[in-house]
Structure 1
Amino acid sequence: MRSALCLGETMAVLSPDPPVGLAAADRFSCGIGGAESNVAMGLAAFGVPVSWISRLGEDGFGRKILAALAQHGVDVAQVQIDRERPTGLYFKDPAAEPEHSVRYYRQGSAAAAMAPDLLADPAVAALLAGAGLVHLSGITPALSPSCRALCEQLLRLPRDGRVFSFDLNWRPGLWHGQDASLLRGLADSADVLLLGADEAEQAFGTGSEAELRTLLPGPETLVLKKAADSAVSLHRDPATGRESRTEVPALSVALLEPVGAGDSFAAGYLSGLLAGLDETSRLRRGHLAAACTLTVAGDRGALPEEAVIEALLGSSEAQWRATSVAPGRIESPALPAPAVLPGRPIPAGSSVLR
């Protein structure tokens, strides 16, 4: 399997422990958070050789991030260390309204100083030349003008057998005061575009398949996620120009926490792409990875054993629709017995809706 390269910012995440409002918090636990590094760790979990490129401050948070990604099997050898700018961080505020539950402190971060000259680094250039997949998101171009220029230059590179994927990851707070219309051009320059119908509505004014395809004709494949209902792939055959539509329903999930599910979906789908799977199998891998993340507290859920994944990918439509995922287990008519997953069970009576 060819390797992947993910580029973007990862920050330290400080969460009140116990989970109280920031004003009442005396103690914090420290984790890491970043869309592109989440995808990198997800790809590694699927067995894809993957590197993550970014900039970090020469500080304890930066060292923590490097150690965590390396522990998950991600190559971080070419991450640049900035001796002047800090690693970005954000705080979770459990007491705040959902739209204000995260407080970012990333302005002037080391990652915000990424620029096109990053691509001139011989080691980075070698990674790019050997990658089968290069993954970006809409977060990076919002960080700074130099980050936007970096993304634009990356997406203009000759493909040479590579696939460039772009996850919209719409963050209105990051684009406040900036020209968000630039995001459309970047998204349309990718080969594979992943986006949710809800975020597309906010970013582009529509969540409609047909309208989005008209608005974004560039990508060979547009993957539209419809929340807890389904995911749709609109794939254009490069040889004939003919477009096909594939829709796969989401799995039934006992939701614990939604954070990171979109990144896990991207990792599942893109790993299927690198493995040469058809669109149905790619979407199923995406749904399965997302479901495993939705049932744990944190950004990433552990995947089931490979035999379980293969059985679910090969299941009938009826078997797939009857499959359910809860913390610690997967039940499906396609499996001889429930599959055990690492995770913490949710309390009885919790919502089973995603």
Structure 2
Amino acid sequence: MTSGGQSAESGWRPAKGGVVCIGETMAALAPDPSSSLEYADDLRVSVAGAESNVAMYLADLGVPAAWLSAVGDDPFGRRVLAEVGAAGVDVSGVGADPGRPTGLLVKEPTGSGTRVHYYRGESAASAMGPDVLADDRLKSAAVLHLTGVTPALSASCRNLVTTALTVPAAERPYAISFDVNHRPALWPPGTAATVLRELADLADITFVGLDEAQELWGGDLQPADVRALLPGPRLLIVKDGGHAAIAFGDEGVRIVPALDTHVVEPVGAGDAFAAGVLAGLLRGEDMERALRLGHITATSALQVTADHGPLPDSARIERLLELPASEWAAAGNSLSA
């Protein structure tokens, strides 16, 4: 495989370079978190998409990132392109479809969490297919990042993801990262478990939440059981909510506690975590520091109502990465100070 190497010190990791993220991004409407959607007079407009979230956080962390997708040739599509591009992401490969709309989601605060309503049927991005993989940006990428959202959108989108994951390693210069990112509302009943397990096992790097693994494949699963179900990835990272992240790879098993922090809204935190880990790997960090960078990045998403929040400055991030284990978890509270 040309996308990575192995050493006793660092284990397997992708080659240095940029990341290409493929998937749908929608316009997002949300009331103030304390307001009822039904009676809100004003709705905040933002953008929401797992793959573009990853790309935006990678750009924040200094990693060249491109996002490939399609939007409608409409005001929401132009808003999406402007916001993702303003974050430093290359959006020049995103098509504007004159015949299909940009997808839309609406967030509904419920007191105990946030309910999301999707309006993405027949969207521009749902028409994507394997032809996206011919984009020249992939020729120089170190990582191609995909998620389990995309194969749920349409048959052509599932074909896109399946095709990407079945390209032999010797025929691509990049590693493939896949976040399971299970969204039950997008899947016909009884279909997600098999499809997502098959796709997740084909990637080089796979991210999965322990809670979603339990929902998909068995309620009593523990991280080691998830590894047994997904033996294929060179690196499997299981996210155990606000407790810890567990990495299974050539370095053995690494466990890094999550940062203690006040949670405003959890949406987008998994994408931020994936971006932090990928950025750490691409800049040559060991697994402990890569997982820490994932937690730091995730914390920035947890503290805002939007999917993308501001990161600490680079000096502060470095200080957090250097903390002794005894001080690490409690340091999260200082990020919201």
TM over 0.5: yes
Higher normalized contact order (CA 8 Å, seq sep 6+, divided by chain length):
2
Q: Of the candidates 256, 269, 291, which is equivalent to residue 283 of structure 1? A: 291
Q: Name 1:271's counterpart in structure 2.
A: 279
The structural deviation recorded for 1:127 is 0.7
Distance 1:60 1:214 in 2: 46
Q: Aligned partners of 2:335 and 2:236: how far apart in 1?
A: 30
Other-structure match for 1:224? 238
> What is the CA-CA distance between 1:258 and the residue it aligns to?
1.6
Hey, what's the Cα distance between the residues in 1 that align with 2:150 and 2:106? 19
**Percent same amino acid at aligned positions?**
47
Report the AA paired with residue 219 of structure 1. P
Deviates more, 1:129-138 or 1:309-318: 309-318
**TM alignment of 1:326-345, pairs within 5 A:** 328-329=336-337
Which residue does the alignment assign to 1:67?
82
Out of 203, 208, 211, which is 2:216 matched to? 203
Question: How many angstroms apart in 2 are the aligned matches of 1:314 and 1:96?
Answer: 37
1:309 to 2:317 alignment = yes
Query: 1:174 — aligned with what?
Result: 186
Q: Aligned pair in 2 of structure 1 residues 296, 98: CA closer, same or farther (>3 Å)? A: closer
**Distance in 2 of aligned mates of 1:328 and 1:319:** 16
Which structure 1 residue ranges, 5 or more long, are not aligned?
238-242, 330-354
> Counterparts of 2:65 and 2:19 in 1: how far apart (Å)?
5
How far off its partner does 1:313 sit? 1.2
Residue 336 of structure 1: aligned partner: none
Deviation readout 1:13-55 (Å, 9 max, x if unpaired): 1113585333323332211101110000000000000000001
Partner of 2:132: 118
Deviates more, 1:39-48 or 1:251-260: 251-260
Compute the displacement of 1:163 (Å): 1.3
Q: Using the alignment, how far apart are the partners of 1:266 and 1:64 within structure 2?
A: 25
In 1, Cα distance between the equivalents of 2:336 and 2:67?
A: 29
2:144 pairs with one of 123, 134, 138:
134
* Displacement after TM superposition at 1:227 (Å): 0.9
Tell me the residue number matched to 2:174.
162
Q: CA RMSD in A?
A: 1.8
Paired AA for residue 187 in structure 2: W
Q: SS of the counterpart of 2:333? A: strand
1:24 to 33, 39, 47: 39
Q: Contact 2:33 / 2:109 at 8 angstroms: preserved in 1?
A: no
Which segments of 5 or more consecutive residues in structure 2 lack a partner in the other structure?
A: 1-15
CA distance in 2, matches of 1:163, 1:325: 34
TM superposition score normalised by structure 2: 0.90
Change (3 A) 1:161 1:118: closer
Contact 2:24 2:125 in 1 (8 A): yes
C-alpha spacing 1:22/1:310, structure 2 compared with 1 (3 Å): closer
- The amino acid across from 1:299 in the alignment is D
- CA offsets, 1:72-102, max 9 Å, x none? 0000001011110100001112248747x21
Flag the 1:174–1:115 CA change in 2: closer, same or farther, 3 A: same
Measure the CA separation in 1 of the matches of 2:160 and 2:197: 16
Matched AA of 1:167: D
